Amino acid sequence: MRLKDLSAELGLSPTTVSRALNGYPDVSEDTRLRVVEAARRHNYRPDARARGLAMGRARSIGHVIPTATRHEMVNPVFADFIAGAGETYARAGYDMVLSVVGDDDEARLYRDLAATRKVDGIIVHGPRTADPRVALLRELGLPFVVHGRVSEETGPYSWLDVNNRRAFYRATEFLLDLGHRRIALVNGLEYMDFALRRRMGYLGALSDRQIEADPALMSSEEMTEPYGYRAARQMLALDRRPTAFLTASLITALGVRRAVEERGLVLGRDVSIVTHDDELSYFSAPDTVPVFTATRSSVREAGRLAAEMLLDLVEAPGGPPRHRLLEAVLTVGQSTGPAPDRD
């Protein structure tokens, strides 16, 4: 059932049917009702491609998920972020088109999305400290919002980010207040912008208390569980082992915990852990004392908000870039306690 069929059946012109359905005022209330009713009855929806062609807009947003070519891992936060963004799109009548691509031919993909006009805007995931995508998208003239920031980018662009620096500054401070002095940082890959900022927060807090950072207590890698385990195991074997860990994700924290327990140490007594927690749905239970002390920030909510920003940008083009900085909250769980005396 297409527009032509529907209008034929109603004895109206396609023009009138189209205008009736799109709420133009120059259609009598009577006929509008007839049209709407008939459309409903036949389950008529305009063909999205034809509509988009005629109106010049795709009503869809692109998400490009880079899979690091080396260890083709897909970051689990994407799932929740996209779920959040999806809610926004559903509400606004947009579609989400997802591309999974090795980061080597990401540029080609962006050019493609622009040239084929498949999307009205793009969400940029996983920004690096220096990220060519910002300049590229600017050149292509495609509206975009970065989830995170690009430290070395000087030009204007829209972004939504968590205050990672402050979150890790406060987490470090929290551990210092508990008497910890040897605090390890089990960080994500530090060419990722968020990881760099977290490191800066950590270093800032240490230096504000005149504590020297120990390179042996800092590591940086892709945030898997085995990585947390390996890093912690190694650090715990040091002569002057850390009494506390700062980890970049819950998943990594699980690895750290495994190493701690394997060594016969007790979490929250012998060793403390503070982790960043993106509030992934499958790790949190509604009303329980959280296991891990954490800097929390819902990545799903971030997805919702980033999508809203982008839709604003798409629907009111030419405006100034938008920014939004979310604060993480520090929630105390069972994984932290005062530094043990014996040191």
The C-alpha angle 213, 278, 94, rounded to 5 degrees, equals: 135
- Counting residues that bind a second copy (by CB under 8 A) gives 63
Question: Does residue 72 touch DNA according to CB under 7 A?
Answer: no
Instruction: Identify the residue among 38, 41, 43, 56 touching DNA (CB under 7 A).
Output: 56
Q: Do residues 181 and 211 make contact, with C-beta atoms less than 8 angstroms apart?
A: yes
Name the residue among 239, 244, 132, 234 with its Cα closest to residue 182: 244
* Residue closer to DNA, measured from CB, 25 or 318: 25
* Residue closer to DNA, measured from CB, 5 or 262: 5
DSSP H or E segment with residue 235? helix 225-236
Choices 26-34, 136-144, 248-256, 333-341; region in contact with DNA by CB under 7 A: 26-34
Q: Do residues 196 and 126 make contact, with C-beta atoms less than 8 angstroms apart?
A: no
Instruction: Identify the residue among 8, 37, 42, 47 touching DNA (CB under 7 A).
Output: 47
Question: Does residue 233 touch a second copy according to CB under 8 A?
Answer: no
d(CA 129, CA 196): 8
Task: Label each residue of 90-127 as H, E or C.
Answer: HHHCCEEEEEEEEHHHHHHHHHHHHHCCCCCEEEECCC
Q: How far is the CB of 100 from DNA (least distance, A)?
A: 25
Tell me the DSSP string of 246-288: EESSHHHHHHHHHHHHHTT--BTTTBEEEEEE---TTT--TTS
Instruction: Identify the residue among 3, 78, 172, 246 touching a second copy (CB under 8 A).
Output: 78
Please, what sign has the CA dihedral across residues 11, 15, 21, 25?
A: negative
d(CA 290, CA 66): 31
Instruction: Identify the residue among 11, 25, 70, 116 touching a second copy (CB under 8 A).
Output: 116
Beta bridge partners of 219: 186
Question: Does residue 12 touch DNA according to CB under 7 A?
Answer: yes
**Residue 69 partner contact from DNA, a second copy, none using kind-dependent CB cut-offs of 5 to 8 Å:** none
**Residue 55 partner contact from a second copy, DNA, none using kind-dependent CB cut-offs of 5 to 8 Å:** DNA
Extract the tokens encoding 323: 């920014």
Choices 18-26, 64-72, 165-173, 270-278; region in contact with a second copy by CB under 8 A: 64-72
Q: How far is the CB of 182 from a second copy (least distance, A)?
A: 25
Binding site for a second copy (CB under 8 A): 1, 43-50, 52-53, 58, 60, 63, 65, 67, 71-76, 78-80, 82-83, 86-87, 89-90, 95-101, 111-112, 115-118, 222-227, 230, 251, 254, 258, 261, 280-285, 288, 291
